[in-house]
C-alpha cells in the first residue's frame, strides 16, 4: 500500500498540471450536470416492513387519487377575550378569511368549519384545512404570499389566527451559514497549526473542491433518485470535515519530511505513502460505517449514508492526488517562515522538535496510566448514564419555536380540541372478504372507540368499491406521549378479537403510528448494524495494525464516546438542560433516525483518529522503538495535528447546531460532542493509557493469523530512506516562492 501510494504521490507531483486540469474538468462537468439537472421531486418518506406503511400502501391502492400529495395548511381561529367563534361578528370574519384563502390560484379546496363541525366544544376555537393542487415544493412564492396575507387580514378582525401544515414549511435551500462558520474556524485553526497562510489555505481549498463535486453530483442525481435535501446537507457536513482533515495530515507529513532535508518531490511521495495510507484506511472505515446504514432498511438513511460516503471517497481521492499536485506548484510556500528564510539563505533545514506538547502529554499519561484510564472511563460513563432514559420519536410542530405560527397553531388546537387532536390515528379496514362491509367497519370502529384513551372516532369513509373503509381515532394524549404509544399497542393487541367479531381485517397508520413504528424499527436495527459495522472495521484495523488488542480497544473506545455523546444529546434535547443556549425551546423525544445515524458517522470519525494516531505509534514500533517510546513518538508527530483536525471537525459540526431543521441541529450537536469526547478523552487519554498498560502485548498477533492476513505496510517500512540531506540542484527551479 505505502509503495503504491508513494508512486501515486510522486506521479501527481511530477504531472501536477495534468492532475489539476483533470480535477478542474471533473468539477466543471459535474457542476454543469448539477446546474442543468431537472428539479428533484422529493419522494415521500417511506419505511418498508412496518404496519403503518403497509396500511398507507393499502390506502393508496384502494383509494386511488385520495392520497394525493397536495400541500395543506391548517388554519386555526381563536376568538378574543372569552368570546365564541360562533358569534355573528367572529363567524363573519372567519368565513371572510376562508373565502380569501380559497381565492389562491393553486388552492384546490377549503373547508367551512361551521359545516364540518370543526369548532371546539367551548366555542373558542375553529379550524379550516386549505388543500392545494401541488405539493409543498411546488407552491409558488405568490401562493405562499397569498396565504400569509390572508392570515394577516384575518388577524385584523381581532381573531388570533395561526397556521400549520406542510404548506407553511420553509422550502428554501441551505443558507450556507453553518458551512461559513465551519470554514472560518477551520481557517483560524489551520493558521495557528501551520503558521503559514499557504499551508492553511491548501486544505481548505481542496476540501471545498471536494464538497463542490459532491454537492453537484448529488444535485444531478437528486431528480432520478428522489434524494432528500438532508442528503446534500450531511454530505456537505462530512465532506468538509474529512476533506480538511485528510489534506491536513498529508500537508503536515510533507512539512515533517521537508524538515528532515528531503527534496520537495521525495517529501510529497513519502507523505502520500505514509500519511496517505492512513488516509485510505481511515476513509475506508468512514465509508463502511456510512454505507452500512443501508442494512437498516430505511430509504432515507440509506440515501444520507451513501451520499455522505461518496463525499468521503472524493475527499480521499483529492487528498491522494490533488494535494500532492498543488504541493508541486508551491513546494516551499507551505513551509514556516523560518524554514523558507533558511532555504533562501542556503542554511540547513530545521530538525523536527523532539519535545513538544504531544510528548509532554504522552509522558504524563505513561507515568500514571491507570489513574488516567479510570478517570476517563468514569467520566464518559457518567455522561453516558442519561442514555438509559432515551426516548425515540419524530417531533413535529410541537418541537418548533413558540415564535413560529406552526407551533402556536399546534398549541391552539391542543387547547381547544385536546392534545390528541394534533396526532390522530388512521385505521384502514379491509372488508373485502366480509359479508357486510359496512357492518364490519362499524364493528371495528365501535370496538376501537370504546378503548380507554380514545376521545372520538370519525365516521367511516368507504372507497368506490365499498370494500375498504377509513376512519380517524383521536387519542386523549399528545402524539409523542408514552400513553399514545401504549394506546396504539393496545389497539393492535386487541386485533385478533376485533377482526374475529367483525369478519374483516384492519391496520393502524397515520403520522403518529408511523413515528411509533419507525422508532421501534430503528431500535431493533441498532444492534445488528453495530455488529456488522464494528465487525468489518475491526477486521480492517486488524489488517492495518496487525494486532488483536488494538482493534478491540479501538471499538471499545468508540462505544464509550458514542454512548457519552448520545447521553449529552438526551441531556439537552430530551431533558432540557442547557437547551436555551442552543435555541431549543421545547424538549421531547430524540429523533428516531438520529441515534443510528450518529452511531454510523461517529464510528467512522473515531476510527479516523485511531488510524492517524496509532499508525504513527505502529510506525515507530516497527522501526525499532520500545512500546513506551513508540507511544511518545506517535504523540510527538501526530498529537498536534489530531487536535487541530478535531477542532476543525467540532467547528464544522457546531455550525449546524444553528440549522432550523431539528434533525440536523441534533446531528450537529451530537457529532460535535462525539468528536470532542473521542479525540480528547478516548484517543488522547484512554489510548495511550491502555497501550502503556499492555506494553508489548498491544502488538501481539498469533503467528497463524500473521501468515493469513495480507500485508499493507501502512507504516511505510518499504519506503525507509536515509534521512540525510538530499537536496538536488533542480529543486531550486521547482521550488520558487
pLDDT tens digits for range 167-218: 887 654 445 565 677 677 778 887 887 777 777 888 889 989 999 999 898 8
- 625 has pLDDT over 90: no
Residue pair 566/595 in contact (Cβ under 8 Å)? The answer is yes
pLDDT tens digits for range 416-435: 888 888 888 989 999 888 88
Q: Pairing between strand 590-591 and 392-393?
A: parallel
pLDDT tens digits for range 530-578: 888 788 878 888 888 888 898 888 888 888 888 899 999 898 888 888 7
Please state, in angstroms and rounded to a whole number, the distance separating the CA atoms of residues 606 and 595: 16
Least confident of 145-149, 233-237, 463-467, 696-700: 233-237
What is the predicted pLDDT for the residue at 16? 93
Q: What's the Cα-to-Cα distance from 411 to each of 78, 111, 290, 415, rounded to whole Å?
A: 11, 21, 38, 6
* Band (657; pLDDT cuts 50, 70, 90): confident
What is the predicted pLDDT for the residue at 482? 83
37 or 671: whose pLDDT is higher? Answer: 671
DSSP secondary structure letters along 163-219? EESGGGS------SHHHHHHHHHHHHHHHHHHS-HHHHHHHHHHHHHHHHHHHHHHH
Least confident of 141-150, 392-401, 607-616: 392-401
Cα four-point dihedral sign 391, 396, 397, 400:
positive
* Band (736; pLDDT cuts 50, 70, 90): very low
- 697 has pLDDT over 70: yes
Most confident of the ranges 105-109, 133-137, 383-387, 531-535: 383-387
Q: What's the Cα-to-Cα distance from 259 to each of 38, 341, 605, 642, 716, rounded to whole Å?
A: 51, 13, 29, 19, 18
What is the predicted pLDDT for the residue at 493? 92
Spatial neighbors of 249 by CB under 8 A, at least 6 apart, are: 275, 278, 279, 319, 612, 641, 645
Bridge partners of residue 114, in order along the sequence: none
Least confident of 140-154, 264-278, 616-630: 616-630
- 317 has pLDDT over 90: yes
Please state, in angstroms and rounded to a whole number, the distance separating the CA atoms of residues 621 and 611: 15
pLDDT tens digits for range 90-101: 899 999 999 999
- The fraction of the chain above a pLDDT of 90, given in percent, is 21
Q: Pairing between strand 454-457 and 505-509?
A: unpaired
Under DSSP, the state recorded for 481 is S
Under DSSP, the state recorded for 119 is B
Under DSSP, the state recorded for 134 is S
Of 647, 652, 651, 660, the C-alpha closest to 582 is: 660
- 342 has pLDDT over 70: no
> Once rounded to an integer, what is the mean pLDDT over residues 281-302?
82
Of 327, 254, 317, the C-alpha closest to 22 is: 317
Please state, in angstroms and rounded to a whole number, the distance separating the CA atoms of residues 227 and 598: 20
Amino acid at each position: 500500500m505505502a509503495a503504491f501510494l508513494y508512486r501515486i504521490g510522486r506521479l501527481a507531483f511530477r504531472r501536477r498540471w495534468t492532475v489539476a486540469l483533470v480535477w478542474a474538468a471533473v468539477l466543471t462537468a459535474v457542476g454543469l450536470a448539477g446546474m442543468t439537472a431537472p428539479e428533484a421531486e422529493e419522494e415521500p418518506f417511506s419505511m418498508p416492513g412496518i404496519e403503518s406503511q403497509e396500511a398507507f400502501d393499502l390506502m393508496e391502492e384502494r383509494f386511488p387519487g385520495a392520497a394525493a400529495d397536495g400541500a395543506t395548511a391548517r388554519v386555526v381561529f381563536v376568538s378574543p377575550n372569552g368570546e365564541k367563534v360562533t358569534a355573528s361578528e367572529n363567524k363573519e370574519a372567519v368565513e371572510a378569511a376562508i373565502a380569501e384563502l380559497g381565492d389562491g390560484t393553486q388552492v384546490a379546496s377549503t373547508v367551512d368549519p361551521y359545516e364540518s363541525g370543526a369548532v371546539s366544544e367551548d366555542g373558542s376555537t375553529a379550524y379550516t384545512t386549505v388543500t392545494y393542487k401541488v405539493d409543498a415544493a411546488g407552491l409558488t412564492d405568490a401562493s405562499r404570499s397569498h396565504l400569509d396575507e390572508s392570515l394577516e387580514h384575518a388577524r385584523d378582525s381581532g381573531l388570533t389566527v395561526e397556521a400549520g401544515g406542510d404548506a407553511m414549511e420553509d422550502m428554501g435551500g441551505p443558507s450556507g451559514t453553518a458551512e461559513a462558520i465551519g470554514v472560518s474556524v477551520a481557517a483560524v485553526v489551520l493558521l495557528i497549526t501551520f503558521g503559514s497562510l499557504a499551508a492553511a489555505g491548501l486544505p481548505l481549498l481542496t476540501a471545498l473542491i471536494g464538497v463542490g463535486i459532491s454537492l453537484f453530483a448529488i444535485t444531478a442525481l437528486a431528480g432520478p433518485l428522489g434524494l432528500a435535501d438532508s442528503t446534500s446537507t450531511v454530505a456537505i457536513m462530512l465532506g468538509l470535515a474529512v476533506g480538511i482533515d485528510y489534506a491536513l495530515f498529508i500537508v503536515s507529513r510533507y512539512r515533517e519530511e521537508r524538515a528532515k532535508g528531503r527534496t520537495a518531490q521525495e517529501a510529497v511521495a513519502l507523505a502520500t505513502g505514509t500519511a496517505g495510507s492512513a488516509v485510505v484506511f481511515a476513509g475506508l472505515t468512514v465509508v463502511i460505517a456510512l454505507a452500512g446504514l443501508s442494512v437498516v432498511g430505511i430509504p432515507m438513511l440509506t440515501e444520507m449514508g451513501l451520499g455522505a460516503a461518496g463525499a468521503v471517497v472524493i475527499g480521499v481521492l483529492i487528498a491522494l492526488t490533488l494535494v500532492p499536485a498543488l504541493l508541486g506548484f508551491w513546494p516551499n510556500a507551505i513551509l514556516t517562515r523560518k524554514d523558507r528564510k533558511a532555504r533562501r539563505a542556503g542554511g540547513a533545514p530545521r530538525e523536527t522538535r523532539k519535545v513538544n506538547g504531544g510528548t509532554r502529554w504522552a509522558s504524563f499519561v505513561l507515568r500514571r496510566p491507570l489513574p488516567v484510564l479510570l478517570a476517563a472511563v468514569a467520566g464518559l460513563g457518567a455522561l453516558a448514564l442519561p442514555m438509559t432514559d432515551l426516548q425515540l420519536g419524530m417531533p413535529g410542530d410541537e418541537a418548533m419555536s413558540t415564535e413560529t405560527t406552526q407551533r402556536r397553531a399546534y398549541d391552539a388546537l391542543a387547547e381547544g380540541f385536546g392534545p390528541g387532536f394534533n396526532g390522530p390515528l388512521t385505521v384502514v379496514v379491509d372488508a373485502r372478504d366480509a359479508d357486510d362491509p359496512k357492518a364490519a367497519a362499524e364493528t371495528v370502529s365501535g370496538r376501537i372507540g370504546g378503548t380507554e384513551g380514545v376521545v372520538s372516532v370519525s365516521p367511516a369513509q368507504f372507497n368506490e368499491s365499498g370494500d375498504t373503509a377509513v376512519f380517524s381515532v383521536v387519542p386523549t394524549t399528545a402524539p409523542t406521549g408514552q400513553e399514545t404509544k401504549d394506546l396504539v399497542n393496545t389497539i393492535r393487541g386487541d386485533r385478533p378479537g376485533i377482526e374475529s367479531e367483525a369478519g374483516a381485517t384492519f391496520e393502524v397508520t397515520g403520522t403518529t403510528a408511523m413515528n411509533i413504528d419507525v422508532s421501534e424499527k430503528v431500535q431493533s436495527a441498532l444492534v445488528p448494524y453495530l455488529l456488522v459495522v464494528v465487525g468489518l472495521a475491526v477486521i480492517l484495523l486488524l489488517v492495518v495494525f496487525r494486532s488483536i488488542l488494538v482493534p478491540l480497544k479501538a471499538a471499545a473506545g468508540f462505544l464509550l464516546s458514542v454512548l457519552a455523546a448520545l447521553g449529552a444529546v438526551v441531556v439537552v434535547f430530551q431533558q432540557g438542560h442547557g437547551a436555551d443556549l442552543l435555541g431549543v425551546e421545547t424538549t421531547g423525544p430524540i429523533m428516531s433516525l438520529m441515534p443510528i445515524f450518529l452511531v454510523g458517522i461517529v464510528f467512522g470519525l473515531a476510527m479516523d483518529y485511531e488510524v492517524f494516531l496509532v499508525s504513527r505509534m505502529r510506525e515507530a514500533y516497527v522501526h525499532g522503538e520500545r512500546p513506551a517510546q513508540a507511544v511518545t513518538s506517535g504523540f510527538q508527530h501526530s498529537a498536534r495535528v489530531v487536535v487541530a483536525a478535531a477542532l476543525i471537525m467540532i467547528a464544522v459540526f457546531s455550525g449546524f447546531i444553528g440549522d432550523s431543521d431539528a434533525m440536523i441541529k441534533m446531528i450537529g450537536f451530537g457529532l460535535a460532542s462525539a468528536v470532542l469526547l473521542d479525540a480528547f478523552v478516548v484517543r488522547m487519554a484512554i489510548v495511550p493509557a491502555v497501550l502503556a498498560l499492555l506494553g508489548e502485548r498491544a502488538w501481539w498477533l498469533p503467528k497463524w493469523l500473521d501468515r493469513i492476513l495480507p500485508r499493507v505496510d501502512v507504516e511505510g517500512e518499504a519506503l525507509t530512506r536515509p534521512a540525510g540531506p538530499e537536496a538536488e540542484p533542480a529543486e531550486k527551479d521547482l521550488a520558487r516562492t
